[in-house]
Amino acid sequence: MHTWLVVACAALLATLAAAQKPGRFLSLPVPQKCANRPKEFFYRGHNYFYSGHVPELAKRKVDWLDGRNICREYCMDLVSMETQEENNLIFKLIQQNDVPYIWTSGRLCDFKGCESRKDLEPKNIFGWFWSANREKMAPTNQIPNGWGYNPWSQTGHKKQRQPDNAEFDINGTSESCMSVLNNVYNDGIAWHDVACYHEKPVVCEDSEELLNYVASTNPGIRL
Ligand SMILES: *[C@@H]1O[C@H](CO)[C@@H](O)[C@H](O)[C@H]1NC(C)=O
Ligand SMILES: [Ca+2]
């Protein structure tokens, strides 16, 4: 757990290293926005929303870091699906609303601070985590504990199972961010590694860390 936290700090730097444009940072929460954040559905103590259902965000498609920052201003972060039940809710949202794709908080640990982590090798199997809470993901080639299926797609650009880092083979751009794609490769709704610069709508999920921070620094605020 503690070693993972080291990576956690590095994750903040990582977003910088990974960004094409220099000087990009994670946004701080905006108390007023946190108090009035969109709440589309509620599951196990967390609120969620799809950006396509929020009038002021409905037309926006953003890269992965901007996606995190849209959510973070609301005391949320990109969605993390640690359980099959939660994943099913997100898949249902995508299916019922015909959403083509979304960003999640899934991220490959391929930035500064990750090099020395032998436990994350090989990266395509052991190197993925949820950046919203820094929880490690199950090995990508296995059905996660407690799940009935492997959420990573069995196919993609190279007709290989995901993650396949396909864009790296095309032009050297790593597929370091995790998206849920809706049948883009005739593969149903499934997880894919995708280059972080692509622009997509987002699903945001409450961040306990940011909500606690805003609650403790704004006495009396109702979140
Ligand atoms: C890499 O290839 C993709 C897909 O063709 C393209 O959209 C992207 O702009 C390319 N990136 C670079 C750095 O050339
Ligand atoms: Ca891929």
From CA 27, how far away is CA 169, in angstroms rounded? 32
Confidence (pTM): 0.90
Closest-approaching ligand to the CA atom of 162 = 2
Protein residues near ligand 2, an ion, with CB under 5 A: 156, 164, 166, 175, 192-193
The span from the CA of 19 to the CA of 204, in Å, is 20
Buried b (16+ CB within 10 A) or exposed e, 191-214: bbbbbbebebbbbbbbbeebbebb
State the Cα–Cα distance between residues 203 and 52, nearest whole angstrom.
Answer: 9
Per-residue pLDDT of 174-196, as tens digits, reads: 999 999 999 999 999 999 999 99
Percent of residues, the chain, with pLDDT higher than 70: 90
Ligand 1 centroid distance, CA of 212 (Å): 40
Q: How far is the CA of 200 from the centre of ligand 2 (A)?
A: 15
Reported as a single tens digit per residue, the pLDDT across 37-90 is 999 999 999 999 999 999 999 999 999 999 999 999 999 999 999 999 999 999
Mutate to test the pocket of ligand 1, among 63, 167, 169 (most ligand atoms within 8 A of CB): 167
What pLDDT is attached to residue 3? 47
- Ligand 1 pocket, 13 CB below 6 A? no
Question: What is residue 23's predicted lDDT score, i.e. its pLDDT?
Answer: 67
Quote the strand ranges of the chain, DSSP E: 41-43, 46-50, 76-78, 101-108, 128-130, 135-136, 177-182, 189-194, 203-206
Q: Of the ligands numbered here, which is closest to the C-alpha atom of 169?
A: 1
User: Which residue puts its alpha carbon closest to atom 1 of ligand 1?
Assistant: 171
Bond from prior residue into 163 cis (ω within 30 degrees of 0): yes
Of 63, 157, 165, 171, best ligand 1 pocket probe by most atoms within 8 Å of the beta carbon: 171
What would the pLDDT profile of 12-44 be if each residue is shown by its tens digit? 444 444 444 556 899 999 999 999 999 999 999
Q: What share of the chain is helix, strand, coil (3-state, %, to 5)?
A: 30, 20, 50
Gap from CA of 171 to ligand 1 centroid (Å): 6
Q: Are 137 and 128 in contact (CB under 8 A)?
A: yes
Ligand 1 contact via 173 beta carbon (within 6 Å)? yes
Give the DSSP H/E element, type plus range, for residue 74.
none
Sequence letter at residue 136: K
pLDDT over threshold 70, residue 219: yes
| Nearest ligand (C-alpha, residue 184) | 2
Q: What is the mean pLDDT of residues 88-96?
A: 98
pLDDT at 11: 47
Question: What's the CA-to-centroid distance between 71 and ligand 2, angstroms?
Answer: 24
| Average per-residue pLDDT for the chain | 92
Q: How far is CA 77 from CA 11, 30, 34, 54, 69, in A?
A: 14, 13, 12, 16, 7
On the question of pLDDT at 147 being above 80, the answer is yes
Give pLDDT tens digits for 107-137.
999 999 999 999 999 999 999 999 999 999 9
Helix (H, G, I), strand (E, B) or coil at 159: coil
Q: How far apart are CA 136 and CA 145, in angstroms?
A: 13
Nearest CA to 175 out of 156, 188, 189, 190 is that of 156
